Each structure stands twice: as structure tokens, then as C-alpha cells.
């Protein structure tokens, strides 16, 4: 089962040294998971002030600077993993450095049907 681990925290909670240590520790966990065939992707996000939010209301686009919701913790990054069950996802999430200063939200990814070769070609802009 695939899970997305979303990390939340206060952007000013980390010193530069702590942020560097967090990145190195997180990358080591990703390397370990990749070797086990359980890591799919991960990345920290730019600060929340670089976000743009889009809403469609009454058929019209509304674009605003910043995140969708006002909270005291911001979405800081994500991990996508492929593990056996929620217990394993929780075990991995509990090892992530952001869990020590913020929150790690664990959400299963909804499986999508396989894409046809024709759909893949269109997606990649290749002639069908």
C-alpha cells in the first residue's frame, strides 16, 4: 500500500544547523527505504510564503498568494512510500526528524487504474 507522509511544522522552529542535520538524517532514511524497495519520492518544500493557492468558484479562477489555510504549522515536505500496512507507515513516520518538532500526517494514496500506452504517449506529448 502506498502512503504519503506529510510533514508539518513551524518554519522558524529549526536553526540552520538543525535543518541541515534533519535533511541528512531524512536522506539516510530514504536511502534505507529505497534499498528495501519502499521509497518512491520525497522532498522538502519552499517556505509557505512562496505558495500560490487556486480555487475555482462559480467557474472563475481565484488565485491568491500563500497557503490555502491559516495554521500555526505549515506543510514542509512529503515522503511517498510503498509499505505493507499502516503500522509500517507509522513506524517509518516516527523515525522522521520532522516528527520531533511538528506533525507527520499519514495518508493512504488512492490507487488509480493503470494508464494505457496510448494515454501515456499523449501525456508525454508523443504522437499516437
Residue 49 covered by a domain: yes
Residue 116 covered by a domain: no
Beta carbons of 127 and 121 less than 8 angstroms apart: yes
Q: Using CA of residue 102, residue 81, residue 45, residue 20, what is the dihedral sign? A: positive
Q: Using CA of residue 67, residue 72, residue 76, residue 82, what is the dihedral sign? A: negative
Residue 121 covered by a domain: no
Kindly report the CATH number assigned to the domain that includes residue 84: 3.30.70.1060
Residue 35 covered by a domain: yes
Q: Which three cell numbers stand for residue 105?
A: 500526517
Residue 45 covered by a domain: yes
What is the total count of domains within the chain? 1
Q: What is the pLDDT of residue 52?
A: 83
What does each C-alpha distance from 104 to 9, 37, 69, 88 come to in angstroms? 9, 21, 17, 14
Residue 123 covered by a domain: no
Enclosing domain of residue 51: 2-111
pTM of the model: 0.78
Q: What is the pLDDT of residue 67?
A: 67
Q: What is the pLDDT of residue 53?
A: 80
Tens digit of pLDDT at every position of the chain (128 positions): 999 999 999 888 999 999 999 999 999 999 999 999 999 999 999 888 888 888 889 999 888 887 666 677 788 999 999 999 999 999 999 999 999 988 999 999 988 787 777 766 776 766 65
Amino acid at each position: 500500500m502506498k502512503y504519503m507522509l506529510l510533514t508539518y511544522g513551524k518554519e522558524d522552529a529549526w536553526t540552520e544547523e538543525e535543518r541541515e542535520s534533519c535533511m541528512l538524517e531524512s536522506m539516510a532514511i530514504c536511502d534505507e527505504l529505497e534499498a528495501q524497495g519502499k521509497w518512491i519520492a520525497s522532498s522538502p518544500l519552499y517556505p509557505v510564503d512562496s505558495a500560490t493557492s487556486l480555487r475555482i468558484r462559480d467557474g472563475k479562477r481565484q488565485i491568491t498568494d500563500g497557503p490555502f489555510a491559516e495554521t500555526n504549522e505549515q506543510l514542509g515536505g512529503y515522503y511517498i512510500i510503498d509499505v505493507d500496512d499502516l503500522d509500517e507507515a507509522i513506524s517509518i513516520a516516527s523515525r522522521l526528524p520532522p516528527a520531533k518538532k511538528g506533525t507527520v500526517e499519514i495518508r493512504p494514496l488512492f490507487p488509480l487504474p493503470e494508464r494505457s500506452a496510448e494515454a501515456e504517449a499523449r501525456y508525454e506529448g508523443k504522437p499516437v
